[in-house]
Copies of this chain bind each other. A is one copy, B any other.
Amino acid sequence: MNAMSTSAPSRRRAQRDLSTAPLLVAARGGRPSRVPVWFMRQAGRSLPEYRALREGVPMLQSCFDPEMLAEITLQPVRRHGVDAAILYSDIVVPPYAAGVGIEIVPGTGPVIAEPVRDAAAVAALPELAPEQVAPVAEGVRLLVERLGDTPLIGFAGAPFTLASYLIEGGPSRHFEHTKALMRSEPELWHTLADRLATMALTFLKVQLDAGADAVQLFDSWAGALSLREYREFVLPHSAKVLRGLAEYDVPRIHFGVGTGELLTAMREAGADVVGVDWRIPLDEAVRRLTADGSPAPAVQGNLDPALLGASWPVIEAEVRRIVAEGRAAAGHIFNLGHGVPPGTDPAVLTRVAELVHSLEP
């Protein structure tokens, strides 16, 4: 179903034999020994051990401390017994490392000192040199040593979502500046998105060179666009990132929220695994992804994070439904439809992971 070989692990990854790791088997469209499960934003504020470790340490500082980022990445693997670690990072880490003035303000999110809204600002955007994220590479090396047989998923924000932060100057509800620039100045948009694609590609290559076993490209806010806009203004740039990793022969997961209309296009960008939020069930996602005769895809997601605060019988029924519907896919990776809410009781996540593991793949 995809261009990856399952028989010839690259030299780089030969240090660990992960050929039967459920996450990688499912991502490649195979039949794993159990349904693999991990949670977006599993490393983070829902864990008391995370809050303790981060105390007094600014977010962006913690992302460049190899020991700290390794430990934070490991915490949910230890606690929940999930089938993957996801590199602890942030969408703005690459531009921050390259020298863009960015601060992550607790309760707000990333705040950009000088929003990027004109040709001069786009031209002034620095490139990311691999050395600028050397501490992340070192953290990945520590993780590969410590993770045993659990795969590590590399992390990067996709060009559209990253651009939206840089253009709006921070988190946004309506993406007014981003859409106005994209549509009114398409050449400038494409120049900016291409630079951000290069940045994301560099960041992911650093992680893969250091030993990451898969990647997830987060285009969290792509669902704010129509399919037409996505195809013209976003797909080529996300494709540059995902297709640019083909030589690494690792599974590429591609995710966004509210992307029911975009799933086929997001797969076309070069995804091996298509992320799905909670709005459409996995079997419906598979139906859409195969409507044009394409082979069945691997999919990931669908548990509504807002339901982690519901009663256990509700959560259990949802987990069972999702695992059943996931059987329509070539491979199914259990996950939420978006990140773990900060107020989540971590015991619920552990229980979800245990339930998923108890069910027939």
Contacts and interface: CB of A to CB of B under 8 A. Distances in A.
Interface of A: 174-180, 183-184, 223, 225-228, 258, 260-261, 278-281, 304-307, 309-311, 314, 341, 343
Given A226-B278, A279-B226, A306 B175 contact: yes
B278 A314 contact: no
Contacts of A260: 260-261
Contacts of A180: 306-307, 309-311
A280 B223 CA distance: 11
A309 B176 contact: yes
A341 B310 CA distance: 34
A307 B179 contact: yes
A225 B258 CA distance: 11
Contacts of A343: 176
A181 to B, nearest CB: 8
B179 A281 contact: no
A306 B174 contact: yes
Contact of A183 (B225, B228, B307): B307
B183 A310 contact: yes
B280 A174 contact: no
Contacts of A281: 226, 228
A262 to B, nearest CB: 9
B261 A280 contact: yes
B174 A305 contact: yes
B226 A314 contact: no
Given A175-B306, A341-B174, A258 B261 contact: no
A54 to B, nearest CB: 22
Contacts of A311: 180, 183-184
Nearest to A314: B183
Contacts of A304: 179, 226
A279 B178 CA distance: 16
A314 B279 contact: no
B279 A177 contact: no
Contacts of A314: 183-184
Contacts of A310: 179-180, 183-184
A341 B176 contact: yes
Choose among A174, A175, A177, A306 the residue with the greatest number of B CB atoms under 10 Å from its CB.
A306
Contacts of A226: 278-281, 304
Contacts of A225: 279
Contacts of A306: 174-176, 178-180
A225 B278 CA distance: 8
A176 B263 CA distance: 25
Contacts of A261: 260, 279-280
